[in-house]
Chain A
């Protein structure tokens, strides 16, 4: 898998804690990431989605900092959106506008482009994916897989250095999944991908297993998946 020779983006989580009332979702978590393809694996409720949200700057921290290339993403939102983009599980939860063109244009106008400049970029992007006629299309006429693509494109247009994916392939059929994976694999940015499916991370450089808000294992996908599988089995046997 081709890795870009550009200077890698530095992601630093420094003693981050997130509490929800009395419940500790993340406690004093520290992590440093410079790899290009990193995965997070874990069960539901393991804290991996919260982790993604603090990386996106969407979640307030009770203590600690999260820095992407030096920018504190929760505090400096304008810089943050230039550096990091996030794609959620359900495109219906992410798409704001009724037509593809408006949706894709939005991120660019948020970054300061005027409408015309933004539209030019959107059309160029759609051309690249051979979907120019989507510009006027109504979102409600798209299939789930097509909506996922719209979400991906709308974030990519903002050219973030880091792309956060929260189980983006849920509910799509395999051919569409392969297509989207293909698009993702050619991207130059750092990708941090959360999933509970081990096979997703075969070509990744680093995999981190989280459970109960704590990092249980951190290393190459092969070694971590082994530990993860073993743990999942024993949980099943113990009925946790």
Chain B
């Protein structure tokens, strides 16, 4: 889950995470101000070209592959706007959606998740002005990532245990034991944190 999604290296890999986040957020934001379907379509084509220049045909097809999650909504948009006769609006919205994902995925496919997390931790000290303790944030992020595989495995184990005793395997039945286990975890991990000094309000 947390290894680099793209098996291909691209020219954009070396660009820093910070720059890429700023660029992709600004680019995505700009998208929302464009109302002209033709302009939106051109942006889409430009993005495809960027993918091509970054990593060739293979990378471009990878980028297109990652658009598949937009397909259901795109179909709905297409049908809906066709039905209403608002073709231009439909095109704008469809290509806005696709372009937004292309921009976001460009960032994700050229950055290691590990680096993304490091960047968050590094720049979180700006959040001090908002009353956020950056050290606590680091720990929370680490704990969060470490907990996902553990909770997932636990949920699977609970389902297995359940299937050993009944023919029905429903997620819903395991929700109470799962929730209880999380609360127990919270106690233990708090202990483990305090045993090594707890969270301090200090510079890292």
Instruction: Classify A-B as touching or not with yes or no (CB < 8 A).
Output: yes
* CB-contacts of B149-194 with A (<8 A): 149-150, 185, 188-189, 191-194
Q: Are A56 and B195 in contact (CB under 8 A)?
A: yes
| Residues of A contacting B: mostly | helix
B189→A96 contact, CB < 8 A: yes
Q: Quick one: closest A residue to B147, CB to CB?
A: A98
Q: Closest 5 interchain pairs by CB?
A: A93-B188, A110-B197, A98-B146, A97-B142, A81-B197
Residues of B near A187 (CB, < 8 A) are: none
**Which B residues are CB-close (under 8 A) to A176?**
none
Task: Count contacts on A: residues with CB < 8 A to the other chain.
Answer: 30
Interface contact B188-A88, CB-CB below 8 Å: yes
A12 contacts chain B at the CB level, 8 A cutoff: no
Q: Give complex CA distance A81, B29 in Å.
A: 48
Beyond A95-B146, A96-B142, A98-B142, is A58–B188 a contact (Cβ under 8 Å)?
no
Alpha-carbon distance between A96 and B147 when the two chains are bound, in angstroms? 8
**What's the dominant secondary structure at chain B's contact region?**
helix
A207 at the interface (CB under 8 A from B): no
Q: Which range contains the number of B residues in contact with the other chain? A: 20 to 34
Q: Which among B143, B150, B189, B192 is the interface contact of A140 at CB below 8 angstroms? A: B150
Contact B204 A58 (CB under 8 A): no
For B195, the chain A residues whose CB sits under 8 A away are 56, 58, 81, 85-86
Nearest Cβ on chain B to A114's Cβ, whole angstroms = 8
Which chain A residues border B198 with CB–CB below 8 Å?
Answer: 77
Chain B residues with CB under 8 Å of chain A are 2, 139, 142-143, 145-146, 149-150, 185, 188-189, 191-198, 200, 204
A202 contacts B by Cβ under 8 Å: no
Which chain A residue lies CB-closest to B148?
A: A98
| List of A residues within 8 angstroms of B197 by Cβ | 77-78, 81, 107, 110-111
* A and B contact pairs by CB, cutoff 8 A, 20 listed: A58-B191, A58-B194, A81-B195, A85-B196, A86-B195, A88-B191, A93-B189, A93-B192, A94-B189, A94-B192, A96-B189, A96-B193, A97-B146, A98-B2, A106-B196, A107-B196, A110-B200, A139-B146, A155-B196, A158-B196
| Closest chain A residue to B149, Cβ basis | A140
CB distance from B117 to the nearest CB of A (A): 9
Chain A positions within 8 Å of B204 at CB level = 109, 114-115
A92 in the interface (beta carbon within 8 A): yes
Residue of A nearest to B142 (CB): A97
A96 touches B188 (CB 8 A): no
Query: For the complex, is A185 an interface residue (Cβ under 8 Å from B)?
Result: no
Give the docked Cα–Cα distance between A94 and B146 (Å): 11
A58-B187 Cα distance, complex, nearest whole Å: 12
When distances are taken between beta carbons in the complex, the residues of chain A under 8 Å from B139 are: 96, 106
